[in-house]
Amino acid sequence: MAKILENLQSINEKIEQAKNRSNAKQEEVTVIAVTKQVSTERAFEAIEAGLIHLGENRPEGLLTKKSEINNRATWHYIGSLQSRKVKQVINELDYLHSLDRFSLAEEINKRAQKTINCFVQANVSGEESKHGLMKEEVIPFIESLAQFENICIVGLMTMAPNTEDEDTIRNVFRELKNLQQEIVKLNLPFAPCDELSMGMSNDYEIAVEEGATFVRIGTALVG
């Protein structure tokens, strides 16, 4: 646990420094400990270190860890979710970070027994290898979700390209922030869209500088 505490302290310091450099003026940045490749014991260590937000990208991983950790964590599903697996996990998670198609929204609304906090995934970089809606598709997609009483669009999510070019990374995050602000101005009751889920172990400082309110950190935190 000592190593996770040390990692978390370093990450929190860097987040605070990035917030001070940011023009976004976000009050809080939530660290999601991505536990998808570590054991339940390691996830327990993260909780003992004070991390209550855990992220998984497969139904099996989320269900297994939640059954052992129970109600000590807030659960984020950060991977692509197949429609046929919605019923397995949708009532077990607190946030879904990968809503990217109407058929998935239909299945979520059908299976959910509570309001599901969803991030719409945007493929801002336009890379074929990444999931998510193209930037110009995001607002029409969100507007089409008004009929679903069990879905609340709390924000947008994206992943930056895997590159050393900080300007490229920054531009992706900045474009997502600009898109989020456009959606906020629409004043949609089912889509407050106040949050931005962006930034991982190698680029979370840039993400915070550009307005991230949730960062998804695995390797740099829990190994």
Give CA–CA dist 105/221, Å, rounded. Answer: 32
Residue 111, domain CATH? 3.20.20.10
**pLDDT of 2:** 67
Task: Please report the DSSP string for 48-82 in residue order.
Answer: HTT--EEEESSHHHHHHHHHHHGGGSEEEE-S---
**pLDDT of 128:** 82
Mean pLDDT, the chain cut into blocks of 10 residues (223 residues total): 88 96 89 93 92 96 91 94 97 97 98 98 89 96 98 97 94 98 98 98 97 96 83
CB atoms inside a 10 Å sphere around CB 24: 16
Tally of domains in the chain: 1
**pLDDT of 28:** 93
CB atoms inside a 10 Å sphere around CB 22: 16
Q: Which domain holds residue 75?
A: 2-222
**pLDDT of 55:** 97
Write the CB contacts of 91 (distance below 8 Å, at least 6 apart in sequence): 111, 112, 113, 114
Give CA–CA dist 113/132, Å, rounded. Answer: 25
